[in-house]
Amino acid sequence: MDNLRELYQHVIVDHNKNPRNFHIMDHPSHQAEGFNPLCGDKVQVYLLIDANNLITDVSFQGNGCAISMASASLMTEALKGKAIQEADMFFENFHDLITSDKNIDVASLGKLAVLSGVKEYPTRVKCATLAWHTVHAAMHNNSNKVSTE
């Protein structure tokens, strides 16, 4: 397990230092911002969703702890090219992975599996899910401001 843990740590550090898709989008079709007052994490997400409900582009900006930034970065990679329904399912599985003992198909989550260790630190769950809640709000236009509290 130690090697796996080191690998996971390495991916989180890498995505925190060099976040992917870290920029403001010029003409997003959907956007929202999220805030996690417990930790101070802030994130803005931008989506380009086409007429077939496919996420053709996704980017983010923000600042916060390593977990929140790595999760947002990994999320942008995971969601590009997915349909909205697939993105919702993905978030559900990811949420279950870090909050429940349900038997999740970890392989289906790809690199997001590196955040599975967050389950042992309940206060960090909100850091790991902030970008996801924000994307959910953006996709479904519930609201364009999200707070984890």
Site string for Zn ion, 101-130 (x = CB under 5 A): --------------------------x---
Of 63 and 85, CB closest to Zn ion: 63
Cβ closest to Zn ion, residue 65 vs residue 83? 65
Question: With binding defined as CB under 5 A, does residue 65 bind Zn ion?
Answer: yes
Order of strands, sheet of 145-147, starting from the edge strand that comes earlier in the sequence: 55-63, 41-49, 30-36, 145-147
Cβ proximity to Zn ion: between 54 and 65 the closer is 65
Alpha carbon 148 to chain centroid, angstroms: 14
- Location of structure tokens 């976040």: 19
Shortest Cβ distance from residue 41 to Zn ion (Å)?
A: 4
Burial of residue 145 (CB within 10 Å: 0-12, 13-18, 19+) is exposed
Q: How far apart are CA 45 and CA 28, in angstroms?
A: 9
Contact between 57 and Zn ion by CB under 5 A: the answer reads: no
> What are the tokens at 3?
């090697």
- If one asks whether residue 71 binds Zn ion (CB under 5 A), the answer comes out as no
**Beta-strand relationship, 145-147 and 55-63:** unpaired
Report the nearest approach of Zn ion to the CB of residue 124 (Å).
7
Nearer to Zn ion, 28 or 64 (CB): 64
Distance CA 103, CA 52 (A): 31
Which range binds Zn ion by CB under 5 A, 31-39, 51-59, 89-97, 99-107? 31-39
List interacting residues with Zn ion (CB under 5 A). Answer: 39, 41, 64-65, 68, 127
